[in-house]
Structure 1
Amino acid sequence: MTRQPLRLAILEAERSLAAAGVASPRTDAELLAAHLLGVERNKLMMVPLVDPPQVQALHDLVRRRAARVPLQHLTGTANLAEVELGVGPGVFVPRPETELLLEWGLQAIEGVEQPTVVDLCTGSGALALAVAHARPDAAVHAVEKDPTALSWARRNAERRTQVGDTPISLYSGDVTDPTVFMDLDGVVDLVLCNPPYVPDGTPVPPEVRNHDPYEAVFGGRDGLDVVRHVVAAAARLLRPGGGVAIEHDDTHGGSVPALLRARRVLTDVQEHPDLVGRPRFATARRTWPDEPGD
């Protein structure tokens, strides 16, 4: 069998993905090739030639990606910061934008010894596990209501524990339940949440429409059905000085901060943009007893 140049196979893959409307065809072609060959993407140049069966296998992956199967479903993994997560059907795929929320959260607990952190709507466990990786001294609690997503989170938590990360506490529960994490009321240093927030009926890419769980994406007519409960939960969970960060739709740059300001015990409300300047997440902190609002 005659070996073929890998660069030509990748170029062909890029053209196929571009024709299918994939947003980042070159990146996806290279990531699929790296996954198939078992090398890092930046090491592809060290594999100049590939066998025909490998080329065919790449074609097969590209065909599925061109059909808008998410890249992460094809590779079986997604990353949030330094943490690799298993993902697939039935669980929301973490997005790069959420790293900004994570960065804010980690800065909010700098200098706090053994912080208590809560991740609401944890999905794959992405935020909870990323915090546990960055802060081994933290007590991290995460909740998810969907059984399939929770099973992904448990597998990811077991995998991260095997590589040496601090275990997290995972719970089955619904953030709309006012008793969720009641035993942590008033003692949490940081609440993080990437809830379902897309307004019902909003057009979304095929990868989201056909593969992400509907209830992990859409949040009611205005997209705020779950967010309202998250704000209420944060207000009771946080200790004085504790912080909350909630990811939201880019149409919520005014509404989510308004929901936070409506809680008298929350202050220092701020809106944060994503990498292209769109409103992406809002933050606040719990007032101290002598601050206005208590």
Structure 2
Amino acid sequence: MKRQPLRLAIIEATRILEAAGVASPRADAELLAAHVLGVDRGRLPMIPLVDPPVIEAIGQLVAQRAKRVPLQHLTGWAALGDITVSVGPGVFIPRPETELLLEWGLKLLNGREYPVVVDLCTGSGALALAVAHARPDAVVYAVDIDPTALAWARHNADARAEAGDTPIRLYSGDVGDSTIFAELDGLVDLVLSNPPYVPPGAELSPEVIDYDPAQAVFAPDGGLAVIRQVVATAARLLKPGGGVAIEHDDTHASAAPAIVSARKVLTDVEDHRDLAGRPRFVTARRV
């Protein structure tokens, strides 16, 4: 069988994905090709020719992506910070928008030894595990109410522990429970949360509507219900000087900071934009 140019296969894949309305057709085509070949995306230019079965395998994945199956479901992983986590049906896929929230949290921890960190609504465990990877001295707690998400988080936590990272402490629980992590009241350096925050009825891409679990995406009260619970819990958990960062919908640029500011023990309330320039997360510190 005659070997074929990989470059032409990627060009064709890009054309198909663009026609299907995929937001990043070229990047997705290259990531799928890299996945099939088992190499990093940056190595693709060093592979000019591939065997026909490789072209066929890429084509099969591209056809699935064109149906708007999430890229991460096809590759089986998503990245956050310096780690990757396994994802698939039943768990929310970490997004690049959360990178800046993670960076803010890690910056807050600079100069703090053995910090205590809590990740509320952990989903796949990505935020908690990214913190544990960056700060091996941290004691990291994570909680979610959804058993499917927790199964993914446990799988990812076990994988990161096997890779040498400090294990996280993973719990099943409701962030709206006023007694959750009661033993940590006033002891926590950092609370992070990427909770459900999309207003019901919002128009979203097929990748989100059809594949992300609705309970991890939508929240009542215009998307603010769980954010209110997270703020209440954070205000209770944080030690003086501790910080909280909560992701929110881009329509919450005023509402989310107002909820945080209503807690008198929280100060330095600031809203931040994501990589695309949209309002994305709010931060504050405990008095």
Coarse TM-score class (shorter-chain normalised) = over 0.9
Q: Which runs of 5+ in 1 are unaligned?
A: 288-294
* Equivalence map 1:271-286=2 (5 Å): 271-286=271-286
Distance in 1, Cα, partners of 2:3 & 2:233: 59
* Equivalence map 1:2-41=2 (5 Å): 2-41=2-41
Q: Which amino acid aligns with 1:32?
A: L
* Equivalence map 1:84-163=2 (5 Å): 84-163=84-163
Match of 1:192 in 2: 192
Distance in 2, Cα, partners of 1:8 & 1:34: 14
Could you say what the CA RMSD is over the residues aligned between the two structures, in angstroms?
0.6
Match of 1:292 in 2: none
Distance in 2, Cα, partners of 1:173 & 1:209: 25
Deviation at 1:180, TM superposition (A): 0.9
Q: Once the two structures are superposed, what CA deviation does each residue of 1:130-155 show, in whole Å capped at 9, x if it has no partner?
A: 00000000000000110010000000
Q: Secondary structure in 1 aligned to 2:228?
A: helix
Q: Which amino acid aligns with 2:199?
A: P
Q: Secondary structure in 1 aligned to 2:222?
A: coil
Q: Which amino acid aligns with 1:225?
A: A
Distance in 1, Cα, partners of 2:175 & 2:221: 18
Distance in 1, Cα, partners of 2:275 & 2:152: 28
Q: Which runs of 5+ in 2 are unaligned?
A: none
What is the total number of aligned residue pairs between the two structures?
287
Runs of 4+ in 1 over 4 A off after TM superposition: none
Deviation at 1:109, TM superposition (A): 1.1
TM-score, L = length of structure 2 = 0.99
* Equivalence map 1:211-290=2 (5 Å): 211-287=211-287
Match of 2:57 in 1: 57
Match of 1:206 in 2: 206
Match of 1:170 in 2: 170
Q: Which amino acid aligns with 2:155?
A: R
Deviation at 1:46, TM superposition (A): 1.5
Deviation at 1:221, TM superposition (A): 3.9
Q: Secondary structure in 2 aligned to 1:240?
A: strand
Deviation at 1:276, TM superposition (A): 2.5
Q: Secondary structure in 2 aligned to 1:97?
A: helix
Deviation at 1:275, TM superposition (A): 1.8
Q: Secondary structure in 2 aligned to 1:249?
A: coil
Q: Secondary structure in 1 aligned to 2:151?
A: helix
Q: Once the two structures are superposed, what CA deviation does each residue of 1:65-110 show, in whole Å capped at 9, x if it has no partner?
A: 0000000000000000111100000000000010100000011111
